[in-house]
Amino acid sequence: MEPILNDLQTQLRDSAKRLCKDFGGAAVYRQRQQQGVTNAWQQVMQAGWTGLLVSEEHNGLGLGLYELALILDEAGQQLWHEPVAATCAGAYVLSKTKQSHHLKQVLEAGLMVLPVCVDVEDTYNNMQSAPVLQKSGDHWMLNGLVRFITFVNLESLLLISAIDEQGRRALVSLSAQAMGVLLTCHARLDDSLVSDIEFEDVKIQSQDILAWDDGAIQLIDDMQTILRVGISAQLLGLSHAALQMTLEHLRTRKQFGKPLSSFQALQHQCVNGYIDIELNRSLLYRTSMAWDKHQSHPAMMSALKARTSRSALAITRSAVQLHGAMGYTHEHNIGLYYKQAVVWAADQGNDVYHAQRFSALTLNAEPLA
Amino acid sequence: MTWDNTNLFADDKPADLAFRKEVREWMEKNVPLDLCHRPDRLTPADLKPWHRKLYDKGWVAPHWSKESGGMGATLTQQIILFEEMARLGVPTPFPHGLNFFGPILIEAGTPEQKAQHLPSILTGDCTWCQGYSESEAGSDLASLQATAVLKGDHFIVNGHKLWTTNGHHADWMFALVRTDPQAQPRHAGITMLLIDLKSPGITIEPIQTMRGDAEFAQEHFDNVRVPVKNMIGKINEGWKIANMVLGSERFTTGHPRNAAVLLNRTRMMAEISGAIVDPIFRHQLAQLEMDLLAFSAFYHHAAELHALGKAPMSMAPVIKISGGEIGQKASELLMHASGPIGLLRDNLQTPEGLVNIPADLFEMRRLTVGSGAVEIQRNVIAKRVLELGA
């Protein structure tokens, strides 16, 4: 069902539709490996999206997660892959911690901010642990290794979830070009790049530790929420586009003298995908609005990520199947949706992890053993 | 933060909050405790005093206009009334007169018909049943064969009706009958008649369900005389009339709370049986709770659009399919979680009162069949929303 929008939100969605069409799509996807940073980012910055969650008082748009979800739904439909949610999350934190110099760079010079928060509770995350801070005179030293971080480039600013030797949580801001930061890149199955980041005695000034303890935990949690809702919106958009493409195929492709769309078994596969998308769409809107109104429960984000991941995998799997042998080719675009679904379904925690997290957050009954 | 799955994404506006408070206070004082959380099936006779009490309060027909004797409530108010009754586990009055036939009568009845029937629907003095299905007309309702032949100022009705909820308790039936056997398409030869079930020539047999009680009945009509004044609308317009009121009752029969109650019972039984420590059980429960959360979001989104007059055609079948299937899966997980104790036929005394696990399991089977099987609902979405067809 359609979202309920005011005029501003309608304009925002329309412009997102245009921009994502211009800068996204299958052709752009296919050139990912050659591109690096595209000139789309300039447009993203000019549209004000990087400051979407930053209050107007700090020169942002003062909007919410609901509006970000509207944009990223469009991005997902076009397989458009830019660190919008990441930078929105980063800019949000910079504004909350009064990092006005960096914030200005994000809003006016296109600085990308990347949360580096390995989720130590994620049972599928290769048992990663947070980098460690050690006090050294008047400053700190950071050591550790984090893996599979998306979108890292040398110009970006990292917001790192770290711990000190006593296990206190800290949020550290650090340029990716700082001495002792080593990046190793890997290509993924969707031709996107991820980086392993090694921190080797990286010098951290006290003023670059943005928050400690509960304050840090809250900000890290906010960033993870924004990233989870953001990628869920992309998964929803992707699912919608893959379903539409499949419906069009069923209407036009004929076998046994009639269109595939006349076969009930195929119709019902599509209907199941459609119902999943409809429920997830409402869940995306209601969850993001609840966060904007400070009425959300953290389990909601896990339900959203789990369901959008599971549906996107089911819908794109069915989409490839219903395209027959064509669906299995490199040439046909439907395969791109499948690959992207596999990657986004795993990013920010897969559906099984989020079901576990949901269960832990909602099931009050403690196990007896 | 506590998780209340009966109240997900509920978001009352200030005026609605005041109404909810008023309803809650009144319900807590007035609900008949002997009807609350009953695992056995209640008959219209059991519900009559409660129906009457709601009528006296003016809340029995929230969705009817004030001129017709209803409350003229907003959709949100209707939902609040349902939720506050569900919260206390008291049944809502039977829907056949109030929700299914009443709105048709208000929309298409003559002043005489309204004067005759609306008051007794409101007070609950008259029990109605819906005479649509037949043995050869279930999902394919337009193939119905019970006939009505016009003779002077009467129709002569012959044939049978089947799967009639409360047929054996009802005083009157609103029925679809064939008045033109040659009509093409078939639904153009159907008329709606109101049949007094005390008329000569009618035999009614209750039918046992798999739950072991009689929820529905079948009726045989042997030359039953029905006065022409009991026809709703014109002859051969019955199909259109039956479909004109597709209303807000989706928001009560399809309320996510129905599945929430079952999931909470599942959790309780898992604590009793010990299944709660099983990580695989917990995962299954989490999956259903997440489905329920998404369905709740859809439900409230739909209610908001419905109130703005912008709900899409797909809303009703999606609520029907999702609500029904989540409820069914919940009843299956409930049986699974209960272990051997769940198999016992008698009611169980639990910390939450009497429960009957087999009754829950069997009762849920009807959700995906009654008033339009989910396969038909999927066909409707395929053809009318996704534009898939021959």
A294 and A220 share one domain: yes
Decide which of A67, A96, A111 is a domain's last residue.
Answer: A111
A166 and A188 share one domain: yes
Share of chain B above pLDDT 70, in %: 98
- To which H or E segment does residue A174 belong? strand A169-175
The CB-side HSE value for B126 (13 A sphere, CA atoms) comes to 22
Is residue A2 in some structural domain? no
Tell me the per-residue pLDDT of B60-101, one tens digit each, with 9 for 90 and over.
Answer: 999 999 999 999 999 899 999 999 999 999 999 999 999 999
- In 3D space, the residue among B89, B113, B112 whose CA is nearest the CA of residue B102 turns out to be B113
Question: Cα torsion at B103, B107, B109, B110 (round to 10°)?
Answer: 140
Is residue A257 in some structural domain? yes
Tally of CB atoms within 10 A around B202: 17
A279 closest CB neighbour out of B267, B274, B294? B294
Arithmetic mean of pLDDT, B323-331: 96
Tell me the per-residue pLDDT of B335-353, one tens digit each, with 9 for 90 and over.
Answer: 999 999 999 999 999 998 8
**Distance (Å, rounded) from C-alpha B51 to C-alpha B45?**
10
A1 closest CB neighbour out of B274, B293, B305? B305
- Residue A121 belongs to domain with CATH number: 2.40.110.10
B388 closest CB neighbour out of A261, A282, A356? A261
Question: What does the pLDDT read at residue B390?
Answer: 74
Please list the alpha-helical segments (H only) found in A7-162: 7-23, 26-30, 32-35, 40-46, 65-77, 84-96, 100-109
B297 closest CB neighbour out of A283, A302, A358? A283
Most B CBs within 10 A among A262, A276, A291, A362, hence the mutation to make, goes to A362
Is residue A354 in some structural domain? yes
**Distance (Å, rounded) from C-alpha A294 to C-alpha A284?**
15
A148 and A23 share one domain: no
Q: Are residues A364 and B2, on separate chains, in Cβ contact within 8 Å?
A: yes
Query: Chain B partners of A225 at a C-beta cutoff of 8 Å?
Result: none
Q: Are residues B315 and A361, on separate chains, in Cβ contact within 8 Å?
A: no
A144 and A207 share one domain: yes
Structure tokens at B57: 């309060």
Phi and psi at residue A339, to the nearest 5°: -60, -45
Q: Are residues B276 and A247, on separate chains, in Cβ contact within 8 Å?
A: no
A142 and A253 share one domain: no
DSSP assignment of B8-44: TT----HHHHHHHHHHHHHHHHHS-GGGTT-SSPPPH
Q: Are residues A275 and B286, on separate chains, in Cβ contact within 8 Å?
A: no
Query: Chain B partners of A267 at a C-beta cutoff of 8 Å?
Result: 378-379, 382, 386, 388
For residue B301, count CB atoms less than 10 angstroms from its CB and return exposed for 0-12, middle for 13-18, buried for 19 or more.
buried
Phi and psi at residue B128, to the nearest 5°: -110, 155
Q: Helix or strand or coil: residue A281? A: helix
- In 3D space, the residue among A105, A84, A89 whose CA is nearest the CA of residue A151 turns out to be A84
Question: What does the pLDDT read at residue A368?
Answer: 37
**Distance (Å, rounded) from C-alpha B125 to C-alpha B116?**
12
Tell me the per-residue pLDDT of B128-165, one tens digit each, with 9 for 90 and over.
Answer: 999 999 999 988 899 999 999 999 999 999 999 999 99
A205 and A69 share one domain: no
Distance from CA of B326 to the nearest CA of A (A): 12
Most A CBs within 10 A among B266, B281, B301, B315, hence the mutation to make, goes to B301
Tally of CB atoms within 10 A around A31: 10
**Distance (Å, rounded) from C-alpha B328 to C-alpha B360?**
9
Share of chain B above pLDDT 90, in %: 85
Q: Helix or strand or coil: residue B217? A: strand
Distance from CA of B23 to the nearest CA of A (A): 24
Question: What does the pLDDT read at residue B17?
Answer: 93
- Residue A271 belongs to domain with CATH number: 1.20.140.10
Tell me the residue range of the domain where A62 lies: 7-111
Decide which of A64, A85, A111 is a domain's last residue.
Answer: A111
Distance from CA of B113 to the nearest CA of A (A): 39
Is residue A1 in some structural domain? no
Q: Are residues B390 and A258, on separate chains, in Cβ contact within 8 Å?
A: yes
- Whether B181 shows a pLDDT value over 70: the answer reads yes
B254-385: CATH topology: Butyryl-CoA Dehydrogenase, subunit A; domain 3 (1.20.140)
Is residue A87 in some structural domain? yes
- Among chain B residues, the shortest Cα distance to A358 is held by B286
DSSP B381: I
Q: Are residues A271 and B282, on separate chains, in Cβ contact within 8 Å?
A: no
The CB-side HSE value for A150 (13 A sphere, CA atoms) comes to 18
pTM: 0.95
Is residue A367 in some structural domain? no
Question: What does the pLDDT read at residue B114?
Answer: 97
B14-93: CATH topology: Butyryl-Coa Dehydrogenase, subunit A; domain 1 (1.10.540)
Question: What does the pLDDT read at residue B158?
Answer: 98
Cβ-contact B179, B190 below 8 angstroms: yes
**Distance (Å, rounded) from C-alpha B133 to C-alpha B142?**
10
Query: Chain A partners of B9 at a C-beta cutoff of 8 Å?
Result: 286, 290
- In 3D space, the residue among A89, A128, A133 whose CA is nearest the CA of residue A112 turns out to be A89
pLDDT category of residue B15 using cuts at 50, 70 and 90 = confident
What is the residue-level pLDDT of chain A in tens, covering all 369 positions?
999 999 999 999 999 999 999 999 999 899 887 765 567 898 999 999 999 999 999 999 999 999 999 999 999 999 998 999 999 999 999 999 999 999 999 999 999 999 999 888 888 888 899 999 999 999 999 999 999 999 998 899 999 999 999 999 999 999 999 999 999 999 999 999 999 999 999 999 999 999 999 999 999 999 999 999 999 999 999 999 999 999 999 999 999 999 999 999 999 999 999 999 999 999 999 999 999 999 999 999 999 999 999 999 999 999 999 999 999 999 999 999 999 999 999 999 999 999 999 999 998 645 433
Is residue A329 in some structural domain? yes
Tally of structural domains, chain A: 3
Arithmetic mean of pLDDT, B116-131: 97
Cβ-contact B297, B334 below 8 angstroms: no
A66 and A126 share one domain: no
Per-residue H/E/C for B293-355: HHHHHHHHHHHHHHHCCCCCCCHHHHHHHHHHHHHHHHHHHHHHHHHHHHHCCCCEEECCEEE
CATH class label, B128-240: mainly beta
A251 closest CB neighbour out of B1, B298, B388? B388
- Among chain B residues, the shortest Cα distance to A252 is held by B388
A296 and A220 share one domain: yes
Most A CBs within 10 A among B267, B278, B288, B290, hence the mutation to make, goes to B290
Pairing of strands B128-131, B353-355: unpaired
Decide which of A91, A111, A131 is a domain's last residue.
Answer: A111
A209 and A286 share one domain: no
Query: How do the domains of chain B map onto residue ranges?
Result: 14-93, 128-240, 254-385
Query: Chain A partners of B7 at a C-beta cutoff of 8 Å?
Result: none
A159 and A246 share one domain: no
